[in-house]
Every structure is written in C-alpha cells, then in structure tokens.
Amino acid sequence: MTVTLGRNQRPEPDIVVVHADRDGGLELTTYQADDVVLAVEVVSPESRSRDRERKPQLYAQAGITHFWRVENVDGRPVVYVYELDPATKVYALTGIHHEQLKLSVPFDIDIDLTDIERL
C-alpha cells in the first residue's frame, strides 16, 4: 500500500501501520500521511540510499511520527527506531535493537530478533 506524502510522492513502505479507524475498504490504494502511525523500511542493497536517506526525509517532512529501518547485519536483523521531533521535523534515533525489539511507543511490542532465521 502506498502512502501519499504530496502531489508527486507516493512511496510504498515495506510495512505500514495505520490508525485502526482508517479502514478505507477494498477500493483504497493509498493512505494519507496522517493515517500512518509507523512506516518501516527493510534495507536491501538495491534500496540502501533510498531507505537510509530519502524515504526517512520524506516521511519526516510529511509528519509521520514513527519510522523504523531494518538492516541485515551479519545475517541478523537490526532494527533502528526513530521518532519525529515535531519542532525540527527531523527523526531522532531512539534505539538500535540487535537481539530484542521491546518498545512501548508507538505500541507495545516485544520480538526476540534472535528467533528470526538468518537473512
């Protein structure tokens, strides 16, 4: 599903979490930026620059509060967690998770990253 960030910007995050009340039915082809709670990008060699640089800039400028980037480090997932600073509209890194992804914001989550098969 794409996310409309502007007239000519409709990126497609690898994972997008939206507010529960944003159900648009089967005809929906895009969410608006204010529908999105969290955008997640899984970095691959082909998408490295876009996922590390351009997409976070676009998501931040659109006001998406939470962004995660998942990287492959030695065959294991590492999750970089960011939260938007509303004053600067720039993401601040709030954590780098190697073995356990345990958070209470933007929602409670607890994932043992070592249980995920090697990438």
Vertex 109: Cα angle to 105 and 110 (nearest 5): 130
- Angstrom distance (rounded) from CA 84 to CA 59: 9
**Total tally of structural domains belonging to the chain:** 1
| Structure tokens that stand for 107 in this block | 């929602």
- Angstrom distance (rounded) from CA 83 to CA 93: 7
Question: Averaged over 79-101, what is the pLDDT?
Answer: 97
Confidence bin at 119 (pLDDT 50/70/90): low
- Angstrom distance (rounded) from CA 114 to CA 80: 15
> Does pLDDT of 29 surpass 70?
yes
Confidence bin at 105 (pLDDT 50/70/90): very high
User: Residue 6: which domain range?
Assistant: 2-115
| Structure tokens that stand for 104 in this block | 């209470």
